[in-house]
Chains A and B, each alone.
Chain A
Amino acid sequence: EAGVTQFPSHSVIEKGQTVTLRCDPISGHDNLYWYRRVMGKEIKFLLHFVKESKQDESGMPNNRFLAERTGGTYSTLKVQPAELEDSGVYFCASSRGDSGNTIYFGEGSWLTVV
């Protein structure tokens, strides 16, 4: 069974540009999450989808971040325009519909804004 896959694995963009990160959850997992770790800090929750609906987006830092999950399969996280403080690693995770304790993470998308 394939795990959570993320693309791109690394991205370097200039301040003011746009970046779109993609996540493919484990097949059949209704729950999809985005997390972020910036330098020196702990991994922090951004938002949670249940199928195509946003269940909790309390961790989204500001309106420069837009997450979508059309059709309840893969998800994208767009940062527009990117700022220097957006640099970090963005993790996607997924879990079965009834499970909030077996959450599986992808390898992360490493974003550097210069």
Chain B
Amino acid sequence: QKEVEQDPGPLSVPEGAIVSLNCTYSNSAFQYFMWYRQYSRKGPELLMYTYSSGNKEDGRFTAQVDKSSKYISLFIRDSQPSDSATYLCAMNSGGSNYKLTFGKGTLLTVNP
């Protein structure tokens, strides 16, 4: 079993839709949960991170972590064509362990 599972999609939605992206994980030591956005042939761009369980909002983006279920989500409101990219979840256990474990990424297309 992989430590982090992420549905690779592809996911196609109309402009303005609410997008839900998610990952599951198996390592209960993970404490920090990140979402990265990666455009084609570019490097991963950090969108936001969340510590432990709870929600975090940044503009149109909301990250949720449910440690009891080992399940994390990223919601995108009012999706735009410019949101079309691959979204990667990543996580680490914090402390002195900064190593990130990534999901495979979900390819999202927002159609105008």
B97 adjacent to chain A (CB < 8 Å): yes
Interface size class of B (residues with CB under 8 A): 20 to 34
Asked whether, in the complex, the Cβ of A107 is within 8 Å of the Cβ of B49, the reply is: no
Rounded to whole Å, the gap between the CB of A12 and the closest CB of chain B is 16
Question: Chain A residues with Cβ under 8 A from B4's Cβ?
Answer: 42
- Give which listed residue, B46, B95, B96, contacts A103 with CB less than 8 A: B46
Q: For A95, what are the chain B residues with a Cβ–Cβ distance below 8 Å?
A: 98
**Does A28 interact with chain B (Cβ within 8 Å)?**
no
With A31-B98, A42-B105, A45-B99 already in contact, the answer to whether A102 and B46 are too (CB < 8 A) is yes
Classify the interface of chain B: helix, strand, loop or mixed. Answer: strand
CB of A101 within 8 A of CB of B43, answer no
Contact A102 B44 (CB under 8 A): no
Known: A100-B32, A101-B32, A101-B94. A45 touches B100 (CB 8 A): yes
Interface: A64 (CB within 8 A): no
Asked whether A101 lies within 8 Å of B51 as measured between CB atoms, the reply is yes
A31: which B residues are within 8 A, CB to CB? 98
When the two chains form their complex, are residues B99 and A104 in contact, meaning their CB atoms are under 8 A apart? Answer: no
Q: B102 and A43: CB pair below 8 A?
A: yes
Q: Which chain B residues numbered 67 to 112 have a C-beta less than 8 Å away from chain A?
A: 88, 90, 92, 94-105
16 interchain pairs, CB-CB under 8 A: A35-B100, A42-B4, A43-B88, A45-B101, A48-B99, A58-B99, A100-B92, A100-B95, A100-B96, A100-B97, A100-B98, A101-B34, A101-B92, A102-B46, A104-B46, A108-B42
Beyond A35-B100, A43-B90, A101-B92, 13 additional contacts (C-beta under 8 Å) are A31-B98, A33-B99, A42-B2, A42-B103, A45-B100, A56-B99, A58-B99, A91-B44, A100-B96, A100-B98, A101-B32, A102-B49, A108-B42
